Chains A and B, each alone.
Chain A
Amino acid sequence: MSARSRAFAGVLPFARRELRSAFESPVAYVAIGLFVLVLPALFFFLGYPVGRTPLPGLWEGGQASLIVLFHWLPLLLALVVPALSMGAWAEERRAGTEELLLTYPVRTGAVVLGKFLATWTLTMLMVSLAVLSAAVTVGFLGDLDWNTVIAGLIGAAWLCAGYASVALFLSAVSSEQLVAFLLGALALGLLWALPLLVRVLPGGAAGALEAASPTTHFLGSAARGVLDLSDLVYFVLLTALGLVANTLAVERRRWR
């Protein structure tokens, strides 16, 4: 077994374990069900009334495009991802299984990565179902550009990875599930809202804030059908930062 294989040993079993427990509880099904209904409903009827130029809903706009649906993703995921990941560490702690988990002969990083993979998979499953069901509707109604849908889903995968790593870190530093959810939603909500502050901030700060926001990196390119290498680098760095912070937070408790 190579050093790299040893370092990542246990990632998949942990991911499987997390996914299994998620699919055995009703929470995941309720979350997926709500997301699959709410996201398209907002897209069909409400549009996106946020920001300087509100976007009309599907029926009002009359164009076969998913751009409005993609606009909702960063905000909705800022609420849903913390809900899915809040129990990842906080629940282990409450149930007293964290101690046991940390005594396994695997690296902490592998456990963190396993939990991350499970959350990411679950989130992407939810997003894919919601986006594809809306895309099928729009594709039936008009000439939908499916390439843009694919690019949007790839961008959504990057966005979900970044969000999941941040939310898991906040779950690791929280003692309660509710606190983990509130902290996660607050942090991701702030990241989402950064571009809204552009108008009230001076030029340099506005540029920095915009560059720091996952919303800009997602809506500026992938949601429009463009895959940009600099966006990928941003999301990889954001994900890595969250995962390392998560590992350090768990490690700290292991040494207590």
Chain B
Amino acid sequence: MEMKPRTPAPLAHPGRRVLRFNAALTLGLLLLIAVLGNVLASRHLGQRVDLSADQLNAISDATRRVVDRVEDRLTVRLFANQEVEDGRLALRGARIRAQLEEILGLRPEIFDFQVLDPSRSSEARRQARESRLQPQRAGRGGLGQGGEEEVWLGLVLGYRGRTEVISTPEPWRFEVQVASAMHALLSDRKIGIGWIGEPFEVAPDSENAALERWESTFSVIRGALSRRARIAQLPGLATGNPVPDDVDVIFMVRPGALHEREVYAIDQFVQRGGRLVVCLDDPDYNLAYPRADVAPEDFQGSPLAELLGSWGIQVAAKHVWDDAWKTDRITLTAVGGQLRQGVISDPLVITVPPEGLATDLPPTRGLPGVAFAWAHPLFPEELAPTPPGVQRTDLAWSSEGAYLTDVAPRLTTDPRELRSLRAALRNGRAGRRTLAAVFNGLFPSPWAGKEAPAPLDPLGLGRAEDEPAPLSAVNTSQVVVFGDADWLRDPRPDGTFVQAGGGVLAVNLVDWLTLDEDLIGLRSRAPRLRPLRDFVAEEEEALGLFEEDVYPTEAERIEASRKGDLARRRARRQQWLTMLAPALSALVIVALFGALWNGLARRRAEPAGESGGERS
């Protein structure tokens, strides 16, 4: 039998079909890996670094502190549809859930997390309704589908038998919502705030109805405070009632003529460790709202002034004039029986920027600014030394170029008057003026070793025999003094006090004084305002266009118009220069690089060409 040698099979070139199949298979597998990898990464890779200065995209230390304070199990029930047809609402739900899981992940052992779908379970629907959650009606998403669907999204937190409901969770502030709700659950009771001085609401005055509508109430700040605390006026202090024990902080807002016994009650409240916020704005000196008829007595020399003076707190009668931090506001002037509207940059209305606020104190840290109007400066510590055991820290101050001006008999809206006033002031000494300060420590009582002042006794009942002796320097306390009360006022249509700074500062103060610094940390997580330079204003300032004149002569009007045009032209030129200079510089760099690159390439090529030529 003849054996034939075995020839090896020829190496086969892979067929085009096989190649295509392999390529498609590889691509398909890779696509699958990419999708799965992406899904897994989005679900399980939560690591991220927030490089931004505002730190708005990372869980704040304040939230961590609140979560750390939880001692028992905290139940979190998320009421949400498992499937939502509306894409936008579905994404909102997904974002809320992702943020919630991130927060719960801080201490997963303390949370009982439940997800309930009221659209599928009647029991979940009943629970949601009991918690006063309402579904949102949305058009059914998807192409060609009609009708509406009920979309549920709400959160109920339970802790030690108490519940807090977040009925409308918002992705952009969800962390603050959850942390605030947890904080409320952890608090034993609501904070008590006592209010002395300016009433909550000012009754309209028939003679001055137009002005009254402009004038302040404190309803906005009262609303903000009442969300955090019980707030009530304190009646009966003059007749001998003490400040109730459930009051933690007293706000004295533009206090008028207080009876000595009222002042004594406030002093004893501070001696017991109560916190006091005093917003001194003598009504006689408040040009924004002349109330001389309401409070005829000067603050200076009053029992309250004496009490504060004994603690090293003295407020000057003059106003702070600050050209650097002045505020634009609308003025209404009666001209020929008609109200004329103008705008002035008022140096008596000061918007204190962050550099005028104490950044090392929690209430003012992170605030974009606070507007003060016709503020009185606090005496410097050299002139009004604090008693032993009391420390003073400035909270807000003017710019270095602020002057002190006497009280004018009326509100100055005439720019020429403002100009001449400023010229006169420049003969005086410019300097930084303290607008608010915190006093901390053991406050001595002026009534120490004496008898308490007699209360008002309109009914002739006589004085109580078992009245305790006045306390003095017993408990540490804090007193915060402002030389202005306008920073607390409601926003006005003239453009002043529209900044949120005042409201946030007041709430921050309450939280700080009642040791709730966690909440201050939460609130300060607002994006910082980063305004651009105002070239027009700078140029107008440079050309002496201080403010719009509401009484211009024809020549003045023409001159102001000419200067205004010039300022705008200069500002536009500055804008273009600012925009074009960096871009043109970048282009010049690229052009130089290109020229250099191609020049070198040509130089390299030339010798090679020459040598090539020789060889040929």
Q: Residues on A close to B: CB < 8 A?
A: 20, 23-24, 29, 32-33, 36-37, 40, 44, 58-59, 62-65, 129-130, 132-134, 136-138, 140-145, 147-148, 150-151, 197-207, 210-212, 221, 224-230, 233-234, 237-238, 240-241, 244-245, 248-249, 251-252, 255-256
Question: Can you list 20 pairs linking A and B with CB atoms under 8 Å apart?
Answer: A29-B594, A36-B583, A64-B530, A129-B589, A137-B578, A137-B582, A142-B530, A148-B52, A148-B53, A202-B142, A203-B141, A206-B91, A225-B57, A230-B38, A230-B45, A233-B41, A245-B27, A252-B19, A252-B20, A255-B16
Select the stretch in B79-87, B228-236, B390-398 that faces chain A.
B79-87
Decide yes or no: A233 and B586 within 8 Å by CB, A62-B532, A206-B90, A224-B52 being known contacts.
no
- Residues B41 and A210 in contact, CB atoms below 8 Å apart: no
Check A251–B23 contact: CB distance below 8 A. yes
Q: Which residues of B contact A227 (CB under 8 A)?
A: 48-49, 51
Q: Take A202-B141, A211-B42 as given contacts and tell me if A145 and B54 are in contact as well, using a CB distance cutoff of 8 Å.
A: yes
Measured in the bound complex, the distance between the Cα atoms of B49 and A207 in whole Å is 24
Of the listed stretches B29-37, B103-111, B442-450, name the one at the interface; the rest are far from the partner chain. B29-37
Question: Which B residues from 46 to 101 make CB contacts under 8 A with A?
Answer: 46-54, 56-58, 83-91, 94
Residues from 447 to 491 in B contacting A, C-beta threshold 8 Å: none
Interchain CB contact under 8 A, A233 and B38: yes
- A142 contacts B531, CB within 8 Å? yes
B579 close to A (CB within 8 Å): yes
Q: Is the CB of B531 within 8 A of A203?
A: no
> How long is the Cα–Cα vector from A62 to B47 in the complex, in angstroms?
33
**B541 → chain A closest CB, angstroms:** 17
Asked, given contacts A199-B88, A201-B87, whether A148 binds B531 with beta carbons under 8 Å apart, the answer is no
Bound CA–CA A59/B574 (angstroms): 13
A137-B579, A202-B87 known; A33 vs B587 contact (CB < 8 Å) = yes
Given contacts A63-B529, A203-B84, contact A226 B48 (CB under 8 A): yes
Contacts of A133 in B (CB 8 A): 582-583, 585-586
Residues of B within 8 A of A147 (CB): 51-53
Q: How long is the Cα–Cα vector from A233 to B529 in the complex, in angstroms?
A: 33
Across the interface, which residues of A come within 8 angstroms of B561, CB to CB?
none
Report how far A48 CA is from B143 CA in the complex, Å. Answer: 27
Complex Cα–Cα for A226 and B591 (A): 34
Contact between chains at A206 and B598 (CB < 8 Å): no
Instruction: Please name all residues of chain B whose beta carbon is closer than 8 Å to the beta carbon of A241 when the two chains form the complex.
Output: 27, 30-31, 34
The one of B34, B41, B48, B85 in contact with A203, judged by C-beta atoms closer than 8 angstroms, is: B85
Inter-chain contact A240/B41, CB cutoff 8 Å = no
CB of A55 to closest CB in B, whole Å: 14
* Contacts of B523-572 to chain A: CB distance below 8 A: 528-533
Complex Cα distance A224/B52, Å? 7
Are B91 and A198 closer than 8 Å at their CB atoms? yes
Known: A62-B532, A226-B48, A226-B58. 18 other contacts (CB 8 A): A24-B597, A64-B531, A129-B586, A132-B582, A141-B578, A202-B145, A204-B83, A205-B87, A207-B90, A227-B51, A229-B47, A230-B45, A237-B34, A237-B38, A241-B34, A244-B26, A244-B27, A255-B16
Q: How far is the CA of A59 from the CA of B30 in the complex (A)?
A: 46
Q: How far is the CA of A129 from the CA of B585 in the complex (A)?
A: 10
The residue that A32 contacts in the complex, of B54, B143, B590, with Cβ under 8 A, is B590
Cβ contact within 8 Å between A142 and B590: no
Q: Are B87 and A140 in contact (CB under 8 A)?
A: no
Beta-carbon contact of B52 and A145 below 8 Å:
yes
Expressed in whole angstroms, the Cα–Cα distance for A64 and B533 within the complex equals: 9
Which A residues touch B56, using CB under 8 A?
Answer: 224
State whether the Cβ of B13 lies closer than 8 Å to any Cβ in chain A: yes
Contact A29 B590, beta carbon cutoff 8 Å: yes
Closest to B55 in A: A225
Question: Pick the contact of B586 from A36, A138, A198, A206 — CB < 8 Å?
Answer: A36
Which of the residues A63, A140, A202, A233 comes within 8 Å of B530, measured between beta carbons?
A63
* Top 5 closest pairs, chain A to chain B, by CB: A206-B87, A225-B52, A203-B90, A233-B41, A133-B582
Q: CB within 8 A of A142: which of B26, B38, B532, B597? A: B532
- Shortest C-beta distance, B261 to chain A (Å), equals 51
Does chain A have a CB within 8 A of B136? no
Taking the closest CB of chain B, its distance from the CB of A227, in whole angstroms, is 5
Closest to B149 in A: A203
Contact partners of A36 in chain B: CB under 8 A: 583, 586-587, 590
- Which residues of B193-235 are within 8 A (CB) of A? none
- Cα separation A192 to B38 with both chains bound (whole Å): 17
Q: Does B300 contact A (CB under 8 A)?
A: no
Cβ contact of B531, chosen from A63, A151, A226, A252, cutoff 8 A: A63
In the complex, what distance in Å separates the CA atom of A237 from the CA atom of B14?
A: 29
Q: Roughly how many angstroms separate A245 CA and B27 CA in the complex, as a whole number?
A: 6
Report Cα–Cα, A210/B90, bound state, in Å: 11
Nearest-Cβ distance from residue A126 to partner chain B, whole angstroms: 9
CA distance A143 to B533 in the complex (A): 10
B11 on interface, CB distance cutoff 8 Å: no
Considering only CB atoms, which chain A residue lies closest to B53 in the complex?
A145
Given A227-B49, A229-B45, A244-B30, A134 and B13 touching (CB < 8 A)?
no
Please give me the residue from chain A that is nearest to B583 by CB atom. A133
Asked if A23 contacts B579 (CB within 8 A), the reply is: no
A13 to chain B, nearest CB (A): 16
Contact call A240/B30, Cβ cutoff below 8 A? yes
| Closest chain A residue to B602, Cβ basis | A24
Q: Does B39 contact A (CB under 8 A)?
A: yes
List residues of chain A with CB within 8 A of the CB of B141: 199-203, 206
Question: Are A24 and B598 within 8 A (Cβ)?
Answer: yes
Q: Are A248 and B85 in contact (CB under 8 A)?
A: no
> Do residues B51 and A140 form an inter-chain contact, with CB atoms below 8 A?
no
By a CB distance below 8 angstroms, the chain A residues around B42 are: 211, 230, 234
Whether the pair A234, B87 counts as a contact (CB closer than 8 A) is no
Question: How distant is the Cα of A224 from the Cα of B530 in the complex, in angstroms?
Answer: 15
**Chain A residues in 8 Å Cβ range of B37:** 233, 237
Instruction: Say yes or no for B601: interface residue by CB 8 A criterion.
Output: yes
A-chain residues with CB within 8 Å of residue B241 when the two chains form the complex: none
Question: Given A29-B591, A201-B142, is A226 in contact with B49 using a C-beta cutoff of 8 Å?
Answer: yes
List B contacts of A245 (CB < 8 A). 27, 30
Taking the nearest CB of chain A, how far is it from the CB of B227, in angstroms?
Answer: 28
Give Cα A206 to B88, complex, Å. Answer: 8
Chain A residues with Cβ below 8 Å from B575 are: 59
A212 to B48, CA, bound (A): 19
Specify which chain A residues have a CB less than 8 angstroms from the CB of B14 in the assembled complex: 255
In the complex, chain A residues whose CB is within 8 Å of the CB of B58: 226
User: Do B51 and A151 touch across chains, with their CB atoms under 8 A apart?
Assistant: yes
Residues of chain A within 8 A of B90, CB atoms compared:
202-204, 206-207
Residue of B nearest to A19 (CB): B597
Cβ of B583 and Cβ of A150 under 8 Å apart?
Answer: no
CB-nearest residue of chain B relative to A238? B34
Contacts of A229 in B (CB 8 A): 41, 45-48
Closest Cβ neighbor of A58 among chain B residues = B532
Contacting residue for A233 out of B45, B52, B532, CB 8 A: B45
Nearest B-chain residue to A201, judged by Cβ: B87
Please, how many angstroms separate the alpha-carbon atoms of A29 and B586 in the complex? 12
